[in-house]
Amino acid sequence: MAANRTKTKKKSIKRYIPLYLMALPGLVYLFINNYLPLPGLVLAFKKFNAKKGIYGSPFVGFKNFKYLFATKDAFIITRNTILYNLVFIIVNTILAIFVAILLAEMTSKVKKAYQSFILLPYMISMVIVSYLVFGFLSTENGFFNNTILRALGKDPISWYMEKKYWPFILVFVSAWKGIGYNCVIYLASILGIDRSIYESASIDGASKWQQIFKITIPLLKPTIIMMTLLAVGRIFYSDFGLFYQVPQNQGALFSVTNTIDTYVYRGLLELGDMSMSSAAGLYQSIVGFILVLGSNLIVKKIDPEYALF
Amino acid sequence: MRTREEKRFQIFAHIVMIILSLLAVVPFVLLVISSFTDNDTLIANGYSFTPEKWSLYAYEYIFKTGNSVLHAYWISICLTIVGTIVALSITTMLAYALSKPDLPGRNVFMFLVFFTLLFNGGLVPTYIVYTNMLGIKNSFWALLIPGLLMNGFNVMLMKSYFSSSIPAEILDAAYIDGATEFKTFTSVVLPLSKPIVATIGLFAGIAYWNDWMNGYIYLTKRTDLYSVQNLLNRMMQNIQYLSQNSARVQDAGVGLASIPSASVRMAMATVGVLPILITYPFIQGNFVKGITLGGVKG
C-alpha cells in the first residue's frame, strides 16, 4: 500500500495542511485531558499549599510516600485492589467461557435473546446498579430482609454495616455486570473455530462434553491468555463506581471496599489530603504503567497479533 | 444415542441460560414493580415482586412536582447529543489524518495517542487542570469535557478501520477529481465507514448518558446542571444520610419532606434507566459488533 502512495507523495507540504487541521481538535483535546495534567504529578513530592499552587508549594522529597506507606491504608488499598481484581478475573473468565460455550452449542434461535438479556446489565450506570442493589439489601425496605429473611424467620441484617458480606456482594455485582461483555468476546472466538473439527470428532464418537473439553477449550486458550494478561495489566486500577457507589461510601465497610481509586478520590475531595492523595495516585500510575508494559511484553512473546504495541 | 445426548445437552443449556437471564433481568423487574407500589404497602412489606397494593402515585408525583427530574432529563439528553456529536467529529477526523501513512509527523502523533493508553496522571492532576487552570468547575463544560470526549483506544480502532477497509484507489480517485481532503472525508470516507462510526457513536452516547463522575466531582454548586445520574446519586446519598442520622436530622430540620418517599425514589431510578431499556433492543446488535471489534483488537 505504501508503494501505491509514493506516487502521490511528491506534493508539497501544503497538501497536508487540511489533514493537520482535521487532526488538530483531537490533538488539542489529548493535550488538555492527558498531557497537561502530567506535570501535576510532581505534587506527590510536595507539601501542597493552596495559596502557593502546585509550583509554589515546597518540595518535601519522598516524605508523602513515607507517610502513605507508614499507614495501614497503603496496605489495605493495595491488597483490596489486587485481590478483588484477581477474583474478578478468575470468576468472570470462567463464567463467561461457560456461558459462551453453551450459547455456541445451542441450536435454538432463542440464544440471541439469552445473549441480549445477560448483556443488559453492562449498559447500566453504576448509580442505577446501586439502586438495584439497594432494592435487595436496604435494611428497612429491602427484598432480602423483608421477604426472604422474614419468611425464614430470621432477623433482618444491616447489610450496609456488615463487612463480611461485601467481598461476595462485590464479586457478584462485578460478575452480574461484566459477564455479558466477556461472553461476547469468547463467543466470537468460539464461532471462529473451524466446524469441520467438530464434525470429524463426532464421527469418531466424541461426546458433546468431550468435544468441549478436548476441542473448544484448548482452541480458546490463546484468547483466554490474552484477555487475562490484558486484565492483569489493569490490575492496579479498580472500577471506581463499583467500589464507591454500590457500597454507598459507607465508612463501616471501608476495610473491604477501599481501593486505590476510592482512596485517591476521598483524599482529594472528601478529606482534602492532597499530599497523600497525589502520592497514592502516582504510586498507581507508575506501578500500573509497569504492569501494562510487562503484560504486553508477555502477550507479544505469545502472539504479536494481540499485543497493544 | 447421539441425539439423546444432544437433546439432554440442549435442555441443560436452556435451563442454565434461563436462570442467568432471569438473574440479569430480575433486579430491573423489582425496581419497576417497586415504583408502581403503594407507598404504605412498601414501607410495611419492603420492595416486593408481588405488592398487595399498586399505585401510580410515584409517577404522578414526578410529573406534577418533579421539575428537577425533568430538568435533569433535559440536561442528560443535551449532554448525550452534544457529547456524542463532538466525540465522533474529533475522533473520526484525527483517526482519518492518522490513517494517512505519508503524513509527515504521523509517528509522533501516533505515539501521543498511544501513550495515553499506557499512562495517565490520574485524578489529582486532572482535577487541578480542570478546576484551577481551565476553570470549568460548575459549568456545563465540566460534564462534557473531562475524560469522555475522546479516548486513544477509539482513535486507534477507527484509524485501523480507515486504513484497512477504505481502498486507497477510491481516495486517489477523489483526489484526482479535485475533491478537497475534507470533502473526500465527509462524502467518501464517512459513508464507507458507517459500521465503525455507529459503533463508536454508540459507545460514546452510552458513556455520556451513564456518566455520573464528572458531575459528582466538578458540579459542587450548580446542582441545576445535574444530569439524571447526578440527581439519582444525590438522592441516594441523602437517604443514606437520613437513615444514619435520623435523630440529628429532625433537630436540624434538614427537610424530611424534601426526600422523596420510597416508591418515588424507585420511580425516579426507573425513569433514569428507561432510555437504555427502550433503545436496548435496537442498539444491542451494533453494540455486540462493537465489543467484538474492540475485544479482538484490544
- Give per-residue pLDDT as tens, A245-281: 999 988 889 999 999 999 999 988 888 888 889 999 9
pLDDT band at B295 (very low <50, low <70, confident <90, very high): low
Q: Is residue B297 pLDDT above 50, yes or no?
A: no
Contact B111/A at CB under 8 A: no
CB contact under 8 Å between B232 and A105, yes or no, is: no
Computed over every residue of chain A, the mean pLDDT equals 89
CA distance B76 to B81: 9
Contact A75/B at CB under 8 A: no
CA geometry: angle at B298 spanning B79 and A287, to 5°? 90
By the 10 Å C-beta count (0-12 exposed, 13-18 middle, 19+ buried), A80 is classed as buried
Contact B190/A at CB under 8 A: no
DSSP B260: P
Contacts of A274 in chain B (CB under 8 A): 124
CA geometry: angle at B229 spanning B225 and B232, to 5°? 100
For residue A183, what pLDDT is reported? Answer: 93
Contact A12/B at CB under 8 A: no
CB contact under 8 Å between B27 and A136, yes or no, is: yes
Report ipTM (2 d.p.). 0.89
- Give per-residue pLDDT as tens, A20-33: 999 999 999 999 99
CA distance A48 to B51: 55
Per the CB < 8 A criterion, the answer to whether B162 and B100 are in contact is: no
- Give per-residue pLDDT as tens, A148-183: 898 898 889 999 999 999 999 999 999 999 999 999
For residue A48, what pLDDT is reported? Answer: 83
Give B6-12 contacts, CB < 8 A, sequence gap 24+: B6/A208, B9/A105, B9/A208, B10/A106, B10/A107, B10/A108
Give the closest-approach CA distance of A5 to chain B in angstroms. Answer: 8
Q: Is residue A4 pLDDT above 70, yes or no?
A: no
CA distance A297 to A275: 33
Picking from B123, B265, B247, B240, the residue whose alpha carbon sits closest to that of residue A252 is: B240
Q: Name the residue facing B13 among A5, A102, A181 (closest C-beta).
A: A102
Residue of B nearest to A10 (CA): B102
For residue B164, what pLDDT is reported? Answer: 87
For residue A136, what pLDDT is reported? Answer: 93
CB contact under 8 Å between B96 and A126, yes or no, is: no
- Give per-residue pLDDT as tens, B72-83: 999 999 999 999
DSSP B63: H
Q: Name the residue facing A207 among B5, B34, B229 (closest C-beta).
A: B5
Contacts of A37 in chain B (CB under 8 A): 120-122, 125-126, 128-129
For residue A173, what pLDDT is reported? Answer: 97
Contacts of A143 in chain B (CB under 8 A): 30, 46-49
CA geometry: angle at A140 spanning A136 and A146, to 5°? 60
pTM recorded for the entire structure: 0.90
Instruction: Report which of residues B294 and B93 the model is more confident about.
Output: B93
CA distance A273 to A254: 17
Q: Name the residue facing B109 among A2, A23, A230 (closest C-beta).
A: A23
Interface with chain A: mutation pick from B4, B17, B283, highest number of A CBs within 10 Å: B17
CA distance B245 to B253: 12
Per the CB < 8 A criterion, the answer to whether A135 and B273 are in contact is: no
Residue of A nearest to B284 (CA): A116
Residue of B nearest to A43 (CA): B125
Give the closest-approach CA distance of B266 to chain A in angstroms. Answer: 8
Computed over every residue of chain B, the mean pLDDT equals 87
Backbone angles phi, psi at B37, to 5 degrees: -95, 145
Contacts of B261 in chain A (CB under 8 A): none
Joined grid coordinates for residue A87: 477474583
pLDDT band at A1 (very low <50, low <70, confident <90, very high): very low
Helix, strand, or coil here: B37? strand
Contacts of A100 in chain B (CB under 8 A): none
CA geometry: angle at B14 spanning B11 and B15, to 5°? 90
Residue of A nearest to B33 (CA): A135
pLDDT band at B158 (very low <50, low <70, confident <90, very high): very high
The number of helix segments (H) and strand segments (E) in chain B equals 16, 0
Give the closest-approach CA distance of A149 to chain B in angstroms. Answer: 12
Give the closest-approach CA distance of A10 to chain B in angstroms. Answer: 10
Contact A211/B at CB under 8 A: no
Scan residues 205-244 of B and list those with Cβ closer than 8 Å to A: 206, 209-213, 217, 229, 232-233, 236-237, 240, 243
Contacts of A282 in chain B (CB under 8 A): 122
pLDDT band at B251 (very low <50, low <70, confident <90, very high): very low
Radius of gyration for the alpha carbons in chain A, expressed in angstroms and rounded: 25
Contact A185/B at CB under 8 A: yes
- Give per-residue pLDDT as tens, B195-213: 889 989 999 999 999 999 9
- Give per-residue pLDDT as tens, A223-235: 888 888 888 888 9
